Amino acid sequence: MFETAGGLLSIDLSIIQANYRRLCDELNGKDCSVVVKADAYGLGLEPVSKTLWEAGARTFFVALPDEGVALRHILPDADIHILGGLFKGSADVYTTHNLVPVLNSLEQIQDWQNRARADIQVDTGMTRLGIAPKDIGQIPSGLDIDVLMSHFACADERDHPLSIQQIETFAQAVQQIEHKRASLCNSAGIFLGEQAHFDLGRPGCSLYGINPTPHTTNPMQNPVHLQGKVIQVHEIDTQQSVGYGATYKLHAGQKLATIAVGYADGYLRSLSSKATVYVGDQAARVIGRVSMDAIGIDVSGMKCEEGQYVDVIGPHNTPDDLAHWAGTIGYEILTSLGRRYKRVYKG
Ligand SMILES: *Cc1c(COP(=O)(O)O)cnc(C)c1O
């Protein structure tokens, strides 16, 4: 195949559907919404949200009103909610596009003036967005509340005392405020068990293959495959250094391949000399610094030729693996995936 991009990014939509069904199973009959903020975590709002709609998802969460407007054009009948709240002065945007704001403060409740149904977020311990439990009594009656929600701070850590406390605080709020659906669980929360589920799950990362249970085997599958193009192969005959800063020395007899993927593509610079790329089934270490448009990998003893592709992200080096090598989280790897790759959607 003749390709002129530095990387081929393939996203398997059937895996995203399978992950959705896996989460529905885990919720055991409770409803499951989906979070598609930040361009569906970097994987593409349009194909991903259409695929989730096809799989049966009806309630969609995004962060920003802009994202809600974009999603409204893609899914005219979806139930779309805006996690970031009611942006000051823009209530008309929500009304025009039938977007449900998550009201995060008493002031937002006032600004909404009962235009239509809205969500309410109670802050049970994340201290990011939401109404403090002590202010619940000040929520005016007569508000048509759809989703009453809150968000976990530490659900990905097993038996964290804050999670237990948040479940208790939220359960009290559920008693105090009239609402249609109660929702507490992000991906990791869904795996905390039934007492955390309430009426509606709200997963994001796990749909896209990130492990919601980092302390144990990933129950989700990875839909992302990123192949990088080999654009030069160097047979080393005398000792020499590799890349900016000359941080790594190659010895005579070693072989280096240059791959056309760099930090401008979201291949984080902190992966320098840390990550592994796969040439077929063989592991090849990234050596030297990641540059803007390229990385070097050690392919000594391997068959590796100009023009071929290597697995930059794949079954042996998942987004979670890259995150581990880079000192970050899989979310940041996915949402950093670059714009220069040729994108292919499968399934
Ligand atoms: C992003 C987000 C989610 C989804 O979280 P994941 O950890 O990706 O499953 C759910 N709820 C809120 C409020 C969020 O901001």
* pLDDT tens-digit readout, 137-182: 999 988 999 999 999 999 999 889 999 999 999 999 999 999 999 9
| Tens digits of residue pLDDT in 73-89 | 999 999 999 999 999 99
| Tens digits of residue pLDDT in 17-48 | 999 999 999 999 999 999 999 999 999 999 99
What local confidence, expressed as pLDDT, does residue 1 receive? Answer: 54
| Tens digits of residue pLDDT in 241-292 | 888 988 889 999 999 999 999 999 999 999 999 999 999 999 999 999 999 9
- Rounded CA-CA distance 338/143 in Å is 42
Q: How far is the CA of 204 from the centre of ligand 1 (A)?
A: 6
**CATH code of domain 224-346:** 2.40.37.10
Shortest-distance Cα residue to atom 1 of ligand 1: 204
What local confidence, expressed as pLDDT, does residue 247 receive? Answer: 87
| CATH 3.40.50.1580 holds for 33-208 | no
Residues making up the binding site for substrate: 128, 292
- Rounded CA-CA distance 336/71 in Å is 20
Shortest-distance Cα residue to atom 12 of ligand 1: 151
Whether residue 2 has pLDDT greater than 90: no
What local confidence, expressed as pLDDT, does residue 259 receive? Answer: 98
For 107-119, the DSSP string reads: HHHHHHTT-S-EE
Question: Over the chain, what is the mean pLDDT?
Answer: 96
- Rounded CA-CA distance 116/143 in Å is 8
Q: Structure pTM?
A: 0.96
Q: How far is the CA of 81 from the centre of ligand 1 (A)?
A: 13
- Rounded CA-CA distance 48/337 in Å is 15
Q: Strand, coil or helix: what is 200?
A: strand
What local confidence, expressed as pLDDT, does residue 289 receive? Answer: 95
Q: Where are the domains of the chain?
A: 33-208, 224-346
> CA end-to-end span of the chain, whole Å?
20
Instruction: Confirm or reject: Cβ of 204 under 6 Å from ligand 1.
Output: yes
- Rounded CA-CA distance 21/222 in Å is 14
Domain 33-208 and domain 224-346 have a common topology: no
What local confidence, expressed as pLDDT, does residue 114 receive? Answer: 83
Specify whether 263 is catalytic. no
| Tens digits of residue pLDDT in 306-320 | 999 999 999 999 999
What local confidence, expressed as pLDDT, does residue 186 receive? Answer: 98
